[in-house]
Amino acid sequence: MSRIEKVNDYVVRFANVNGTGSASANNLFALAIYRMGVPVTPKNIFPSNIQGLPTWFEVRVSGSGYLARRAGIDLTVAVNGQTLVQDYNEVLPGGYFLYDSTKRLPDECRRDDLNVIAIPLTQLCNDAFTDPRLRQLLKNIIYIGALAQLLDIDHGVLTAAISGQYAKKPQLAESNLQALEIGYTYAANHFAGACGLRVEPQPTSGESILMDGNSALALGAIYAGATVAGWYPITPSTSVVEAFERYANRYRIEAETGRKRFAIIQAEDELAAIGIAIGASWNGARAFTATSGPGLSLMAEFLGLAYYAEIPVVLMDVQRAGPSTGMPTRSQQSDILDAAYASHGDTKHVLLFPSDPTECFEMAVAAFDLAERLQTPVIIMSDLDLGMNDHLCAPLSWDDSRRYDRGKVLDAAALEALPTRWGRYLDVDGDGICYRTYPGTHPSKGAYFTRGTSHNEYSGYTEDNTIYRRGMERLARKWQTARDLVPAAEATERDSETIIGAIFYGTTSAAALEAIDLLAAEGVAINLLRLKAFPFGPEVKTFIDRHRRVFVIEQNRDGQMRQLLIGEGDFPPAKLLSVLNFDGLPITAATIVDQIQPLLAAPDPDGDTEPSGEKP
Amino acid sequence: MTFVRPSFRHPQQPTNALGYVRKDYEGLISTLCAGCGHDSISNAIIQACFEIPVEPHKVVKMSGIGCSSKTPAYFLDRSHGFNSVHGRMPSIATGANMANRDLIYLGVSGDGDTASIGMGQFIHALRRDLNLTYVVMNNGCYGLTKGQDSATADRGSRTKKGAPNPFESIDLCEMAIQLGAGFVARGFSGDKQQLVPLLKAALLHRGIALIDVISPCVTFNNSSGSTKSYQYVRDHIEATGTFDFIPLQQEIVVQYEEGATQAVTMHDGSIIQLHKNVGGVDVTSRRRALDLLEAEREQGRLLTGILFLDPESEDTHAILNTTLTPLNQLTQAELCPGAAALEQINARFR
Ligand SMILES: Cc1ncc(C[n+]2csc(CCOP(=O)(O)OP(=O)(O)O)c2C)c(N)n1
Ligand code: SF4
Ligand SMILES: [Mg+2]
């Protein structure tokens, strides 16, 4: 019988029923491997449901540090009767199938290329524990115990993790440790040496963290000094505001009075949620909202107002699979165009594309500075994969000497000192950004009437076509200023000779990097450009001009970033080739390689011409 | 277009206790139709702010979209204004109020802006008891889009277009009382005598204060078949009573007969002295207020004045227990936990 034999390079899948407490056991597994110094990538593939439907948790173990999801399951832990046969069939040949043998394996399960590990989890659990609620949870811990034995996971790491988790409930810690032991002993007695997969500890600096993107966004908002959040619950953005509230309750309580230095309003809908954020920002507090696709659609009108009336606001869009309600618990990068141009009229918005939690934190902080500097909405484009899964990433860091950039705001003294009449929309510096004032600043100076109707430099209503046009042109000038202020795309040159480039962003990055390594091993050199923001800086043009073929790798059906590049950068469409994944599961390196290979074989779109260096 | 008033100031104009003249509370010249009820309400707002008195720059005026929502340009020039989008003034006001609890928030809306497109935001601002004076300039139609029936148009009422409105109307005051608003009043743009004190009391009330002001649209909804015309309102108006509004600093000089008046002390110590007209109204009883509104409606009368008042009501900040320092004045040192705390946070993710 074939057996996969691997050290630190495989995928373990847990097939559970949602609402049975499997998440904490499965997270424990990932945590233990991470703590052994081995890079790990957990992906929770869960239903849009609260209880009773199938849910999967995949953990990729990659000693060489590839952090994208990988297809192909080496070991499945099957504890969901509903999907048992499917789970059985999906294991790779030579792989391992651990199931709860309290119930017999169905007759259809007759593969001869699988190594079956039958452990009577329910039986073992019921023999040891009586509390029915506890039984459900501890059954999960029993399989973790078995895995510890089968994969050679450090026992001390696991017990320490459990003791840490239940530090405040020693009794629970004890039963968990007991369950762990039961699984371990059973596997040792019945399946010693049965599994060819192993975890071997790796040296690490101990610096990196395992964090979800939504917590990082929330921390970014805390560190940036956001005080007001308006929101409406929607998966997968909900945990951003929940985490914000948790951290705010820890770090933002006035010591003397117990009063809160923040206000979180669960609004009646997303229109109100962003209205609240805009109203607060207008009045000088840092404010934000978080949502996902359906909410973004509802926020469009207000985003247009904030663009035109020039009000800072931070919006965190944790994207999910659309269209419409789509697949609410699956991931995609499919709000790119909607976010870039949300609202009617000539409107466009600054977008930021974090690719891991560290960047979620940094970009959240940057978003508040940028929004206030540019007096415009800034939308952080995260997604479900980034937001809700844990990612191995660099620790968050903060420089205590860093000061918030509150942008061009005049206080009473500055208003007094002005030599000429102040105008809210007067571009005195020539960068398209004007000076604003907060309400209540000065008894007789600095008041103005904010409006979404066409206005002159003094914020007075006008239908004068020349003045209207002047305002719109100034906004275009401000957009040019934005280009210089947003984070630049990150170019990595793998080969100075190659004519092939790849552009990607956000959660596509890890898979893209892995794919490019795989292709490099086959002799195909590809240079990389990771986009971090829209508007695109000059480096994007330089990169595209330098290469004859540029793959744009992203997770949506219509190649939205490619469209944005063509529309905004004026690049020859034939040169930009889409590589796409849009099934809702995080993109894999194999998907990218499979799509790039045939494209490499196709004729050169530019014929023999040299890469053009001309300005578009 | 914007018309600026000439800034000439007569030296003999009376000043209020803060040293401002009435003109300091005025705005641009209105561009609404001559005779529009909304202009009278703007004037009442100017008068109320001058009389209270408030510091003009400490007021924030906000609105949605409509003829009514244009009016904040026509009063309180020294206040920051925010003309938002259709039906969404309450969310902007909520955010603004969260950012700085020390200013006075005055929201202006229309019946279309509030009772149709903005109904959701309206009722949720009420539920949250936002510290906001919410003035609905209610003309029973959409003025700015040329006279369509609105959701507050009475069943059977006719605008200039002629067809009777076939649908049931929404009574914003009844709704507000049901939803727990602490101050609910109805006024008439043609009765400044009543409207100015209503506005004064509303502006000083803590929590949400709704004033539904019937404000005839002379261009589209002032014809004989309309129940929101000047004539009809004058013929059918009934007040809960006349009242005096006595700000904290002033002494009550007039003594009223026992039983005929009701004195309600507001949170800042100001007193509302109500001289009852309609059968023994107790304005602090929610149940009675609703009964009375329904009873008057059955009689085909339009009840005005203070309809309900809960002097104990709390605002959103009190409910959320936010700091007394306006959030927009907190410093980076107070807001940012710093590098050491972040190191501890990192440790929890290892
Ligand atoms: C989203 C949106 N839909 C429609 C309109 C067009 N519109 C402008 S004002 C208005 C109705 C205003 O009615 P009301 O609030 O009663 O104000 P009035 O003009 O009667 O004072 C409408 C429908 C708009 N501005 N925005
Ligand atoms: S149309 Fe009606 S509501 Fe609008 S300004 Fe004229 S009278 Fe007033
Ligand atoms: Mg109206």
Are the C-beta atoms of B256 and B191 separated by less than 8 Å? Answer: no
Question: Which ligand has an atom closest to residue A452 CA?
Answer: 1
Q: Does the residue B7 lie in any domain? A: no
B205 CB contacts (<8 Å, ≥6 apart)? B133, B182, B183, B266, B267, B309, B313
Instruction: Give the C-alpha separation, A27 to A21, whole Å.
Output: 11
Average pLDDT over residues B287-315: 90
Which residues lie with the beta carbon below 6 Å from any ligand 2 atom? Answer: B 32-33, 36, 38, 67, 139, 143-144, 217-220
Which of A38, A283, A369 is the best residue to mutate to test the B interface, defined by the most B CB atoms within 10 Å of its own CB?
Answer: A283
Q: Which atom of ligand 1 sits closest to the CA of residue B113?
A: 15
Radius of gyration, alpha carbons of chain A? 27
- Are residues B321 and A219, on separate chains, in Cβ contact within 8 Å? no
**Confidence check: pLDDT of B252 > 50:** no
At A361 the pLDDT is 98
Instruction: Report yes or no on B117 lying in a domain.
Output: yes
Q: What pLDDT is attached to residue A20?
A: 86
Residue B15 in any domain: the answer is no
Give the confidence band of B297 by pLDDT, cuts at 50, 70, 90.
confident
Angle at B259 between CA B255 and CA B261, to 5 degrees: 50
Cα angle: B40, vertex B46, B48; to 5 degrees? 100
Q: Which residue has the tokens 């696991």?
A: A158
B contacts of A265 (beta carbons < 8 Å): 94, 98, 128, 316
Q: How many Cα atoms occupy the beta-carbon half-sphere of B343 within 13 Å? A: 5
The model's confidence at residue B263, banded by pLDDT at 50, 70 and 90, is confident
Chains A and B form CB pairs within 8 A to the count of: 232
Q: Are strands A377-383 and A549-554 parallel, antiparallel or unpaired?
A: unpaired
Q: How many independent structural domains does chain B possess?
A: 1
Ligand 1 closest atom vs CA B144: 19
B140/B3: higher pLDDT? B140
- How far does A555 lie from chain B, in Å, by closest CA? 28
Contact at CB, B98 and A285, closer than 8 angstroms: yes
**E strand segments, B4-158:** 59-63, 80-83, 104-110, 133-138, 141-142, 148-149
* Chain A nearest C-alpha distance from B14 (Å): 19
**Which residues in chain A show pLDDT less than 70?**
1, 605-616
Residue A371 contacts residue A521 (beta carbons within 8 Å): no
Give the pLDDT of residue B2: 57
Hey, are the CB atoms on A284 and B328 less than 8 Å from each other?
A: yes
Residue B153 has pLDDT above 90, yes or no: yes
Check B88 against A444: CB less than 8 A apart: no
Residues from chain A that touch B121, judged by Cβ atoms under 8 A, are 268, 271-272, 275
Check which CATH number belongs to the domain holding B240 and give it: 3.40.50.970
Nearest C-alpha in B relative to A35? B350
- pLDDT classification of B243: cutoffs 50, 70, 90: confident
Q: Which domain holds residue B192?
A: 22-320
Closest partner CB to A230 (pick from B95, B120, B317): B95
Residue B254: predicted pLDDT: 43
At B212 the three-state DSSP class reads: strand
- Cβ–Cβ of B57/A447 closer than 8 Å? yes
Q: Are B82 and A282 within 8 A, CB to CB?
A: yes
pLDDT value at position A611?
Answer: 39
- Tokens representing A377? 């909405």
Asked if the structure places residue B8 within a domain, the reply is no
Cα–Cα dist A80/A20, whole Å: 10
**Measured in angstroms, how far is the CA atom of residue B214 from the centroid of ligand 3?**
10
> Which residue among A279, A439, A452 places its CB closest to the CB of B103?
A439
Q: Edge-to-edge strand order for the sheet containing A40-45? A: A40-45, A54-62, A9-17, A73-78, A91-100, A115-119
Residue of A nearest to B104 (CA): A440
- Alpha helices in chain B, H assignment, sequence order: 37-51, 67-70, 89-99, 111-115, 119-128, 172-178, 192-204, 230-236, 286-298, 316-320, 332-335, 338-348
pLDDT tens digits for A378-426? 999 999 999 999 999 999 999 999 999 999 999 999 999 999 999 999 9
CA dihedral A204, A208, A209, A210 (to 10 degrees): -70
Q: Measure A387 CA to nearest chain B CA, in Å.
A: 15
Cα dihedral A189, A193, A196, A200 sign: positive
pLDDT digits (tens, 9 = 90+) for B225-239: 999 999 999 999 888
Buried b (16+ CB within 10 A) or exposed e, A148-182: bbbbbbbeebbbebbeebbeeeeeebebbbebbbb
Please indicate if any CB of chain A lies within 8 Å of the CB of B328. Answer: yes
Answer yes or no: is B309 within a domain: yes
Domain annotation covers residue B14: no
Question: Dihedral (C-alpha) A11, A14, A18, A19: value to the nearest 10 degrees?
Answer: -120
The pLDDT of residue B224 is: 92
Q: State whether residue B19 is helix, strand or coil.
A: coil
Could you give the ipTM of this predicted complex?
0.95
Q: Report whether residue B139 contacts ligand 1, using a CB cutoff of 6 Å.
A: yes
Share of chain B above pLDDT 70, in %: 90
Tell me the ligand closest to B86's alpha carbon.
Answer: 1
Is residue B150 a part of any domain in this protein? yes
Q: How far apart are alpha carbons B100 and B94 in whole angstroms?
A: 10
Nearest ligand to the CA atom of B33: 2
Residue A552's DSSP bridge partners are: A503, A578
Predicted local distance difference test score (pLDDT) of residue A609? 44
Domains of chain A plus CATH, in order, are 6-198 (3.40.920.10), 211-393 (3.40.50.970), 408-487 (no CATH), 490-600 (3.40.50.920)
- Is a pLDDT exceeding 50 seen at residue B35? yes
pLDDT digits (tens, 9 = 90+) for B103-133: 999 999 999 999 999 999 999 999 999 999 9
CA distance A602 to A606: 12
pLDDT digit string, tens, across residues A448-500: 999 999 999 999 999 999 999 999 999 999 999 999 999 999 999 999 999 99
B53 lines ligand 1 (CB under 6 A): no
Instruction: Give the mean model confidence (pLDDT) for residues B133-147.
Output: 97
In a domain? residue B130: yes
From chain B, the residues in CB contact with A403 under 8 A are 332
